[in-house]
A and B are shown apart, each in its own frame.
Chain A
């Protein structure tokens, strides 16, 4: 089937009607609940510590903190839309961050371009690390689609490989001392907006457009919700999977850039706890881990919800561990809430699961 027809089929809701109604009510229901929870958290934090929480300084510091995890969560989300998972996202972020760091700190590169061309060097570092992310993603995609390894295992293995290579390159130590212009990417402001936030907003806007307005995005949702139907409607699943993991690798590399720019250093095992946190954000945002459903707005909302919680707890002088506890509790609570409000759907899901 040609692209044009596939797009129109989806636009006109020509899929079995029941299917779409279920997915829509469910998605909106989740989003509404999440919005409510976020607002409740926001209000209670504002009431509990108004002098600290409701300040520009707090919002600035929050928007320095969440973008790197947010971008990683986007990388995770795109693979989860296909029913896969990318455990290697943090590994890719670290590896491509280290590659960028090597370029930024290397004397020979500075020598070749001269100190005046600092912008060129930074651009080069970003491009090379993006290429690194794409290559890593390609490797994942090939393992998953061509060889047929389950995503969770393929990326589990490649996570170890990427982190391993990063350890081999750095011998376990940190790389630091980037040019000031580069750390602007992670620590600078444009007017009152922090750079990481700007990068996050741009990337998530592009990501949302890609998911909702392009054929690629539509095919992605279609393949995620029913891979067999996708094959029979002319979607090349192999090619789609490879592209998905490449995209995930690219986004991970961008997260890596933000990460090293913000901390002004690169290390092989930076942010290892981000893997599970990213999955948590994505799932909390309403992405179905078995594929097919999920929105960027849900992801952003989930990210905000957790960030409000984290910052609020910091201000109330709770420990980081209490934060970890609450994150887990929120995740489980939201899932239970979803269960209660979707009881009609659960019988529907049982039927579809039986068909698989």
Chain B
């Protein structure tokens, strides 16, 4: 039992998180405060939602690099429309518009992936520059500073509050509930619905999934539409946190999110991975991103340390797998 737990990737990641936390906490007391925990959780929200979307895509055997472009497209267009209408209501409408735009863009991806059978990396690479190029060339390049009041209010709504050591107040924003519900929803979807099983099956072997009776085309449209939907939501939360809609934002961070998903034990070739692992992977990356300074590591070391983390984190399972296959006498890459 214990031995089996050790083999589980989630357990290893959790262990690393605890180890890293202890190391940081010992060298800097400021780490083990509620305020810092709230800060880390707040920083996990956007990456967490993105990661859930990317996780679903990778499990289905694809890869998506256009999700940040979808998010920034949706958030900017939504804010532009709402500011243009001088909208002063709640954030709900913003979520609806943004998620709608995101879903449409996601379905646009799915058309090429599913109907034309173009590899997902190429499609999303192309659509990434299409979405971002279209946004910047035709919609706008200026920052929108005065966001609708609903968005500002949303970022100031806390479910819990704590005082920081230097007297400020740090709150746990309500957006964390959104993240938790999305995570929970996806877990239910993947583990307890036929659609979820279909996503795993598609990632395991497309032909087998087809023969087993899964409607692969519908599944693919669902996956990419759903990822777009999640991106729309993450985009609005991002602009609400940042208090600004910046059309140059987000794009360029997609590899970090993919790294978090893979660190969580999701196999890049598809078919394997868990929601829990993804959440842990995100938390590990956020932890390292935000706490190296507390550890006394200069900020310019950050990139190298994260790279090392990715290499080690992926090397261990790969090495284990490699040894088990080479025992069969085949060495194929």
Residue of A nearest to B211 (CB): A354
Contact of B311 among A143, A283, A324, A335 (CB under 8 A): A143
Beyond A159-B307, A161-B308, A164-B302, list 6 extra A-B contacts (CB 8 Å): A150-B268, A227-B333, A289-B121, A319-B137, A335-B118, A354-B206
Question: In the complex, what residues of A have CB within 8 A of residue B306's CB?
Answer: 160, 164
Most A C-beta atoms less than 10 A away, residue of B65, B122, B135? B122
Contact of A228 among B258, B303, B332 (CB under 8 A): B332
Stretch at the interface among A100-108, A167-175, A194-202: A167-175
CB–CB A332/B130 < 8 A: yes
Question: In the complex, what residues of A have CB within 8 A of residue B126's CB?
Answer: 280, 328-329, 331-332, 335
CB–CB B315/A143 < 8 A: yes
| A290 in contact (CB, < 8 A) | yes
Residue of A nearest to B309 (CB): A157
Question: In the complex, what residues of B have CB within 8 A of residue A157's CB?
Answer: 259, 307-311, 314
| A238 in contact (CB, < 8 A) | yes
| A241 in contact (CB, < 8 A) | yes
Q: State A162–B136 Cα separation when bound (angstroms).
A: 30
The size class of the interface chain B forms with chain A is: 35 or more
The size class of the interface chain A forms with chain B is: 35 or more
Known contacts being A280-B125, A336-B112, is A164 close to B304, with CB within 8 Å? yes
CB–CB B132/A324 < 8 A: yes
| A339 in contact (CB, < 8 A) | yes
Question: In the complex, what residues of B have CB within 8 A of residue A332's CB?
Answer: 112, 118, 123, 126-127, 130
CB–CB A156/B258 < 8 A: yes
CB–CB A161/B304 < 8 A: yes
Residue of A nearest to B122 (CB): A283
Q: State A172–B300 Cα separation when bound (angstroms).
A: 7
Known contacts being A280-B126, A331-B126, A336-B112, is A238 close to B331, with CB within 8 Å? yes
Within 8 A of B (CB), among A215-239: 227-228, 231, 237-238
Contact of B130 among A165, A279, A319, A329 (CB under 8 A): A329
Question: In the complex, what residues of A have CB within 8 A of residue B258's CB?
Answer: 156
CB–CB B207/A325 < 8 A: no
Contact of B133 among A159, A161, A322, A339 (CB under 8 A): A322
Residue of A nearest to B256 (CB): A160
Within 8 A of B (CB), among A285-314: 289-290
Known contacts being A157-B307, A322-B133, A329-B130, is A272 close to B252, with CB within 8 Å? yes
CB–CB B118/A321 < 8 A: no
Residue of A nearest to B315 (CB): A147
Within 8 A of A (CB), among B108-139: 112, 116-119, 121-123, 125-138
Known contacts being A87-B255, A339-B117, is A237 close to B333, with CB within 8 Å? yes
Q: State A164–B301 Cα separation when bound (angstroms).
A: 6
Q: State A147–B312 Cα separation when bound (angstroms).
A: 10
| A114 in contact (CB, < 8 A) | no
Q: State A153–B319 Cα separation when bound (angstroms).
A: 14
Residue of B nearest to A169 (CB): B300
| A317 in contact (CB, < 8 A) | no
CB–CB A167/B304 < 8 A: yes
Q: State A231–B325 Cα separation when bound (angstroms).
A: 15
CB–CB A241/B333 < 8 A: yes
Question: In the complex, what residues of B have CB within 8 A of residue A163's CB?
Answer: 303-304, 307
Question: In the complex, what residues of A have CB within 8 A of residue B304's CB?
Answer: 160-161, 163-165, 167-168
Q: State A268–B135 Cα separation when bound (angstroms).
A: 28
Report the minimal beta-carbon distance from A87 to chain B, rounded to whole angstroms: 7
| A251 in contact (CB, < 8 A) | no
CB–CB B207/A350 < 8 A: yes
CB–CB B302/A321 < 8 A: no
Report the minimal beta-carbon distance from A354 to chain B, rounded to whole angstroms: 4
| A54 in contact (CB, < 8 A) | no
Complex A-B: 24 CB contacts under 8 Å = A87-B255, A145-B333, A148-B318, A149-B311, A153-B259, A157-B259, A159-B307, A160-B306, A161-B308, A162-B307, A164-B305, A165-B304, A231-B331, A238-B333, A321-B137, A322-B137, A324-B137, A328-B128, A328-B129, A331-B125, A332-B126, A332-B130, A350-B207, A354-B206
| B192 in contact (CB, < 8 A) | no
Residue of A nearest to B139 (CB): A321
| A248 in contact (CB, < 8 A) | no
Question: In the complex, what residues of B have CB within 8 A of residue A238's CB?
Answer: 331, 333
| B262 in contact (CB, < 8 A) | yes
Question: In the complex, what residues of B have CB within 8 A of residue A203's CB?
Answer: none
Question: In the complex, what residues of B have CB within 8 A of residue A158's CB?
Answer: 307, 311
- The proximity string for B residues 201-213 relative to A, scoring 1 for CB distances below 8 Å and 0 otherwise, is 0000111000000
CB–CB B314/A154 < 8 A: yes
Report the minimal beta-carbon distance from A126 to chain B, rounded to whole angstroms: 25
Q: State A75–B321 Cα separation when bound (angstroms).
A: 28
Report the minimal beta-carbon distance from B63 to chain A, rounded to whole angstroms: 8
Contact of A335 among B112, B133, B301, B319 (CB under 8 A): B112
Q: State A159–B252 Cα separation when bound (angstroms).
A: 13
| B2 in contact (CB, < 8 A) | no
Most A C-beta atoms less than 10 A away, residue of B268, B303, B309? B303
| A11 in contact (CB, < 8 A) | no
Residue of B nearest to A283 (CB): B122
Within 8 A of A (CB), among B16-63: 63
CB–CB A325/B322 < 8 A: no
* 6 interchain residue pairs of minimum CB distance: A164-B304, A325-B133, A160-B307, A328-B129, A321-B136, A164-B303
